[in-house]
């Protein structure tokens, strides 16, 4: 895709969602790490409901490892995969205490070695907590990138990330990540995208395919009225 086409996409999404931001509530890097870990296969809204009480009870890594795992499981029970996530949180907190003085490491390479922290989580943490440009590819970013031909249909998550990093100016990586999420979450939805009012329909492969039946029905209706 040409640079001018990428610029058109970025500017259009930027006009739609100029104030896009991380919607996971947090007050520091540690809380953000826990929130992103909890958000896997779960909505941000649900995570925020759980962390509202969770972050009042647990302030530091030591707090998380000082309770039985069953108690932590009960505290995050509304979260999908809560048993595995409770184990990951306690293991992660133990490592933070033993190796990093209770602080979240600022290095992407170190973050991905922590239990429950994958590449996406690490990208979210370094970009939002430490100001390091990064593009975290979640389901929304992946879907939008592929529909708008910023990536190939069969590209892996890592391939999507690399193509976005190549196409988007580095100083816009983090903001683009947020805007793509907002665009996918509130406009270009998985099941009911707003194709009929989308300003990017001209470059969207999925939108063109979805709108063909509607165009055909409109044409057939017009033919029937004039015959």
Distance linking the first and last C-alpha atoms of the chain: 44
Is residue 197 assigned to a domain? no
Annotated catalytic residue within 75, 85, 120, 146: 120
Is residue 71 assigned to a domain? yes
Is residue 88 assigned to a domain? yes
Is residue 222 assigned to a domain? no
What share of the chain in percent tops pLDDT 90?
89
Residue indicated by tokens 């239990």: 115
Q: How many beta carbons lie within 10 A of that of residue 83, not counting itself?
A: 14
Q: Which domain holds residue 51?
A: 29-129
Is residue 93 assigned to a domain? yes
Q: How many beta carbons lie within 10 A of that of residue 14, not counting itself?
A: 15
Is residue 12 assigned to a domain? no
Report pLDDT digits (tens) over 86-141: 999 999 999 999 999 999 999 999 999 999 999 999 999 999 999 999 999 999 99
Q: Is 138 a catalytic residue?
A: yes
Q: Is the pLDDT of residue 217 over 70?
A: no
Structural domains counted in the chain: 1
- Token digits for 222? 């017009």
Is residue 162 assigned to a domain? no
Q: Is 155 a catalytic residue?
A: no
CATH number at residue 101: 1.10.340.30
> Quick one: pLDDT band at residue 41, thresholds 50, 70, 90?
confident
Predicted TM-score of the model (pTM): 0.88
User: What kind and span of H or E run contains 183?
Assistant: helix 173-186
Is residue 182 assigned to a domain? no
What CA–CA distance (Å, rounded) separates 8 from 17? 14
Annotated catalytic residue within 11, 75, 87, 138: 138
């Amino acid at each position: 895709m040409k640079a001018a086409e990428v610029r058109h996409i970025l500017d259009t999404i930027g006009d739609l969602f100029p104030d896009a931001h991380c919607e996971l509530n947090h007050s520091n890097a540690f809380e953000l790490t826990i929130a992103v870990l909890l958000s896997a296969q779960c909505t941000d809204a649900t995570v925020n409901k759980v962390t509202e009480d969770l972050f009042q009870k647990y302030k530091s890594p030591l707090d998380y490892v000082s309770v039985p795992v069953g108690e932590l499981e009960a505290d995050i029970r509304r979260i999908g995969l809560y048993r595995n996530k409770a184990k990951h949180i306690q293991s992660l907190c133990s490592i933070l205490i033993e190796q990093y003085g209770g602080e979240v490491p600022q290095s992407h390479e170190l973050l991905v070695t922590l239990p429950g922290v994958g590449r996406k989580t690490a990208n979210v943490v370094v970009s939002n907590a430490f100001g390091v440009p990064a593009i975290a590819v979640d389901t929304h970013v992946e879907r939008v990138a592929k529909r708008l031909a910023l990536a190939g249909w069969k590209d892996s998550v890592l391939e999507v990330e690399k193509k976005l990093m190549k196409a988007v100016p580095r100083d816009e990586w983090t903001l683009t990540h947020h805007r793509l999420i907002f665009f996918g979450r509130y406009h270009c939805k998985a099941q009911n995208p707003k194709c009929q009012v989308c300003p990017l329909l001209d470059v969207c492969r999925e939108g063109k395919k979805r709108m063909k039946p509607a165009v055909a029905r409109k044409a057939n209706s017009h033919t029937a009225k004039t015959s």
